[in-house]
Amino acid sequence: MVIKTFNIDWEGKKEPVEYEDDLTFGELEGIINASVDLTDVTKPKVNIPTYRMNILTKVIRKAPFPINDAVAIRNLKAKMAKQIISEVMKDYPLMQFLEDWMVTFVGTPGTTNLPTASTTS
């Protein structure tokens, strides 16, 4: 885990935002579980706002606004929230994690399309 930093414009000056670039397996599984409905594996339902909010409240370690506070993040101006989300989500692309989950269900192409040979006796 590394703490990454970027600056945002906050009340007329540059302020740092620090976040963890990696979560534990269990933390990430919990966030994905809360954000993805796999009731029908062929049609997963993804709640992107829940995913983004859970990531932000979990990984931000320092900011000029209250951290670990979903209400404070929701009350950020849209432009600022977009800037923060853009930076943080570089390390947490949902598609990558969904692909990892899907391998659990369907396997990898190399393992599911192996040629088979029949022998008769």
> In terms of Cα–Cα distance, which of 28, 11, 51, 8 is closest to 101?
28
- In this structure, what token pair is assigned to residue 10? 């906050």
Beta-bridged to residue 18, according to DSSP, are 5, 62
> In terms of Cα–Cα distance, which of 94, 106, 91 is closest to 1?
91
Report the pLDDT value the prediction gives residue 94, as an integer from 0 to 100. Answer: 87
- The DSSP bridge pattern shows strands 36-37 and 45-46 to be antiparallel
Report the pLDDT value the prediction gives residue 121, as an integer from 0 to 100. Answer: 58
- Would you give per-residue pLDDT tens digits along the chain (121 residues)? 799 999 999 999 999 999 999 999 999 999 999 998 888 877 889 999 999 999 999 999 999 999 999 999 999 999 999 999 999 999 999 888 777 766 766 665 555 555 555 566 5
Residue holding tokens 């970027």? 6
Report the pLDDT value the prediction gives residue 97, as an integer from 0 to 100. Answer: 75
Report the pLDDT value the prediction gives residue 95, as an integer from 0 to 100. Answer: 84
Report the pLDDT value the prediction gives residue 108, as an integer from 0 to 100. Answer: 58
102/10 Cα distance (integer angstroms): 40
Q: Can you give the residue ranges of every domain in the chain?
A: 3-108
pTM > 0.85:
no
- In this structure, what token pair is assigned to residue 103? 């391998």
